[in-house]
A = this chain, B = another copy of it.
Amino acid sequence: MLRHFKAEFFKTLGHPTRIRILDALRDGELTVGDLQQRLKAEQSAVSQHLAALRSRDFVHARRVGTSVWYSVADAAIWELLDIARDIYERQLSSNRAMFEALQ
């Protein structure tokens, strides 16, 4: 049942904080503390969302001393985010065109 995988896959992407984490990791590896600061989110929340991303192999974790560095496991994940943005923008302009046609 590959469909279930795909659904779980996308469901994991279906949270603003997790999207923000992945976007932040475009710049390279970051620690949990870095992510907390950038996202201005609770420690627990960041850690829980990272756990979700880890369990689906969206990110890799690398321990150095007491801190853990996270990175995106597969660069194709950013392709997904970019295609999503493209679709969004096409929707926007199509809606705008429809709106203007009604004027």
Interface status of A11 (Cβ within 8 A of chain B): yes
Question: What's the minimum C-beta distance from A59 to chain B, rounded to whole angstroms?
Answer: 12
Q: How large is the interface on A (under 10, 10 to 19, 20 to 34, 35 or more residues)?
A: 35 or more
Interface of A is mostly: helix
Copies of this chain held together in the complex: 2
**A81 close to B23 (CB less than 8 A):** no
Q: Which of A9-33 contact B (CB under 8 A)?
A: 9-16, 18-20, 23
**A16 close to B10 (CB less than 8 A):** no
The one of B12, B76, B84 that contacts A9, using a Cβ cutoff of 8 Å: B84
Interface status of A77 (Cβ within 8 A of chain B): yes
Which B residues touch A6, using CB under 8 A?
13, 16, 19, 81, 84-85, 88
